[in-house]
Amino acid sequence: MQVVSVQPGDGPIVLGQPHGGTHVPDDIVMRLNENGRKLADTDWHISRLYDGLIDATVVQSHIHRYVIDANRDPAGVSLYPGQNTTTLVPLTDFDGQAIWVEGQEPSPDEIEARRVAYHAPYHAALMQELERVRAKHGFAVLFDCHSIRNHIPFLFEGTLPDMNIGTDGGVTCAPQIESIAHEFAASSPFSTVLNGRFRDGWTTRHYGRPDQGLHAIQMELSQSTYLTAQTAPWRYDARKADRLRPWLRDILDAIQDTVSELAQ
């Protein structure tokens, strides 16, 4: 099974897609309970949603986040201290419900083995592409692509906005990039927030070093914007997606233009 795939592009943007994969090795899927086997917390169809929007490099993990979460600190440090969240290898789903057969939860040694086998290769590929792009353009922008159900009481109150932009409070990218992304999102017909509940992920924190020409920004989309329903079978809604995709393209184009101007 291919752990990670890379689609090289010529532009300065790298699209990271750590949560779109649905592969669970046979020896692991047997230990998931009925709830876990639903794989409900997938970033469903995220690769299709962004396909062809811009000449960008795409780095995609094919391993499901229940095997190991490629957007969590490999040391196991909480992404959001004091708030409900899921861990490097989740024990529950986003609703706080167990996903493993009782007594079959992964051990620390197994988690480390999964980190080496699945987490590390994704980030090695991501870093390699960011370095390649930076060497070509003098800078690189990681645009981390995510999606989630917009109503999950275990993780947040109320209903999540359609577009959730995260830069760790402006730390992970140049302020002009944050500003132009938020400006274009706010001008769309979709609700948006900057550095709200999903202010960033481990990936954007880890790679976002604007003083070194590496910028990172996260986009967490509500799945209501492009799925027929936010329940199984998680069908892609082409009509909804065709309404959203031009705005995503505009945001990506604006970021690309802005970072190119910064480098001049």
Q: What are the Cα distances from residue 1, in Å, to 23, 35, 48, 171, 243?
A: 8, 24, 20, 36, 34
207-238 burial, b for 16+ CB within 10 Å, e for fewer? bbebeebbbbbbbbbbbbbbbeebeeebeebe
pTM of this prediction?
A: 0.96
What residue numbers bound the domain in which 196 lies?
Answer: 4-263
Token pair in block for residue 262 = 């910064």
Domain containing 62 — which CATH number?
3.40.630.40
Token pair in block for residue 166 = 């995260």
Domain count, the chain: 1
- For residue range 22-77, what is the model confidence (pLDDT) as tens digits? 999 999 999 999 999 999 999 999 999 999 999 999 999 999 999 999 999 998 76
- Which residue do the tokens 């440090």 mark? 77
Nearest-angstrom CA–CA distance, 14 and 58: 6
Residuewise pLDDT in 10s, the chain (264 residues): 799 999 999 999 999 999 999 999 999 999 999 999 999 999 999 999 999 999 999 999 999 999 999 999 998 766 666 565 678 999 999 999 999 999 999 999 999 999 999 999 999 999 999 999 999 999 999 999 999 999 999 988 999 999 999 999 999 999 999 999 999 999 999 999 999 988 888 999 999 999 999 999 999 999 999 999 999 999 999 999 999 999 999 999 999 999 988 876
Nearest-angstrom CA–CA distance, 66 and 182: 31
Nearest-angstrom CA–CA distance, 259 and 264: 9
Beta-sheet strand order (sheet of 192-194):
4-7, 57-61, 13-17, 140-148, 214-222, 163-166, 192-194
Token pair in block for residue 76 = 């196991």
